[in-house]
Amino acid sequence: MKSLNVEGLDFNGHLKIGRVAVLGKGVAGIVIVGVTGGRRVALKVRREDSRRDSLVKEGEMLRMANQVEVGPKFAGATRDVLAMELIDGDTLPRWLEHTTGRGQRSRVRTTFLDMLRQCSRLDSAGIDHGELSRAHKNILVTGSGKPCILDFESAGLSRRASNLTSLVQYLFFGGGFARNVARILGPIEKENLLIDLRFYKTSDKTKGFEKVVGTLGLGGKRRVRKESRTN
């Protein structure tokens, strides 16, 4: 921590380990609040029983994600500590639950569109997050509705990165969360969406993204194919 210029720790968060409050706990590390340069940051500290022998690779993946404007800002990494921007937000399920009232649908559409754009940028950069099928554990949404993709522990480089398809599966094809989304945004044409996702993966990503967003109705009026009107 000294090599990362950490001046102090602030044991604060929703989780507790014994009597110590922390931000998060995973199989690889524990996330706590640190102070550096007078500002609060998030520190991921490697667990002694972690199967990962270093956090340096995760830090490099986060730094690369930052280059396409994704993820909390990378602040430094050593074998045992990863320092990054502290994101104040809720998990996707908690955020969706609290997003109510007038303009609910518009706010959900805006946040979802931002998430999918971030995923598309990761795909184009060849960075596969690897865990977005469990987005409830890897995305926080701030009070202003800005989503942030976290935890690049399982990330790697791949010509066939599938961040967008993984997140769409979670948002619209999953269990209880997807049902809550459908109640807010309305039903979607799942067969057409699957066709669009295949086009996105195998053809022009820019056009594919536009097709996906159009079918979901996130960029404005929902796109309906002629064949869908007759079936």
- What pLDDT digit, counting tens, does each position of 39-92 carry? 999 999 999 998 889 999 999 999 999 999 999 999 999 999 999 999 999 999
What is 56-96 written as a DSSP string?
HHHHHHHHHHHTTT-SSPEEEE-SSEEEEEPP-EEEHHHHH
Quick one: pLDDT at residue 111?
A: 98
Asked if 131 and 151 count as a contact pair (C-beta separation under 8 A), the reply is yes
pLDDT on residue 75: 96
14 pLDDT band (50/70/90 cuts)? confident
Q: What is the CA radius of gyration of the chain?
A: 19
What are the backbone dihedrals phi and psi of residue 224, each rounded to the nearest 5 degrees, phi first?
A: -120, 125
Q: Residue 116: its pLDDT value, please?
A: 98
- Residue 2: pLDDT band (50, 70, 90) is very high
Domains in the chain (CATH in brackets) are 2-85 (3.30.200.20), 89-230 (1.10.510)
Task: Report the percentage of the chain scoring pLDDT > 90.
Answer: 82
pTM strictly above 0.95:
no
pLDDT band at 228 (very low <50, low <70, confident <90, very high): very low
